[in-house]
Amino acid sequence: MESLKPEVKKEAKLKAKLDPAKDYTQDKDCVGCHVDGYGKQGGYTVDTPSKYLTGVGCESCHGPGKKYRGDHRKAGQNFEKSGKTTQRKVLVEKGQDFAFEESCNACHMNYEGSPWKGAKAPYTPYTPDVDAKYKFEFDKMVKNEKAMHEHYKLDGAFEGEPKFKYHDEFQASAKVAKKDDKKGKE
């Protein structure tokens, strides 16, 4: 959201033929990729700016959490009580998203002439034609520590497909969370 404010990132805006003096924070052609859950129930709307959820939110990558949150809790309890694991399939049925590359593409690869088949307006102004640095390489980007959140060790309550291809790698170097600040997405 910060980037949509006037006078912020002037040079980058000029490069993409945007107007650096303009306030884009209410612009329907921009906010969809720059805030969490735009156009979805419970997320950001232009009409209710008090509900701004700035930045790229959890649900842009993990899917809407309302339905699967309870399953995390239940699976965690079962695992703690009796060591019983739960299939990730259960989470997918409740809308949790494990197809991270598709999620990223919906914002990063969404431009005219993109090799990504799902591209449709409104498009991102930042394409590899504007500058080669805007080329999106999933395997590199998903490990970019500046853009991605840190990873925390999970207890192993879930198993089975779809398992994210870097799951084991991320878990191997994940931090140990204090019991009470677990966010419980998986």
Least separation in angstroms between CB 29 and ligand HEC = 5
Nearer Cβ to ligand HEC (9/78): 9
83 DSSP assignment: -
Nearer Cβ to ligand HEC (78/142): 142
Q: Which two tokens stand for residue 150?
A: 């840190």
Least separation in angstroms between CB 69 and ligand HEC = 10
Q: Which residues bind ligand HEC (CB under 6 A)?
A: 2-4, 9, 12-13, 18, 24, 27, 29-30, 32-34, 56, 58, 60-62, 100, 103-104, 106-108, 110, 122-126, 134, 141-142, 144, 147-149, 151-152, 154, 164, 167, 170, 174, 183, 185-186
For residues 129 and 86, what is the distance between their CA atoms, to the nearest angstrom?
A: 45
Nearer Cβ to ligand HEC (108/157): 108
Provide the b/e sequence for 133-147 (b: ≥16 CB within 10 Å): ebebeeeeebeeeee
Nearer Cβ to ligand HEC (94/167): 167
Least separation in angstroms between CB 186 and ligand HEC = 4
Least separation in angstroms between CB 81 and ligand HEC = 21
Question: DSSP secondary structure string, 28-81?
Answer: TTTHHHHBSSTTSTTS--TT-GGG--BSS-HHHHH--TTTTHHHHHHHHHHHHH
Q: Which two tokens stand for residue 89?
A: 């399939």
Least separation in angstroms between CB 96 and ligand HEC = 10
Nearer Cβ to ligand HEC (84/165): 165
For residues 88 and 171, what is the distance between their CA atoms, to the nearest angstrom?
A: 16
Q: Are 96 and 79 in contact (CB under 8 A)?
A: no
Q: Are 35 and 52 in contact (CB under 8 A)?
A: yes
Least separation in angstroms between CB 71 and ligand HEC = 13
Nearer Cβ to ligand HEC (5/84): 5
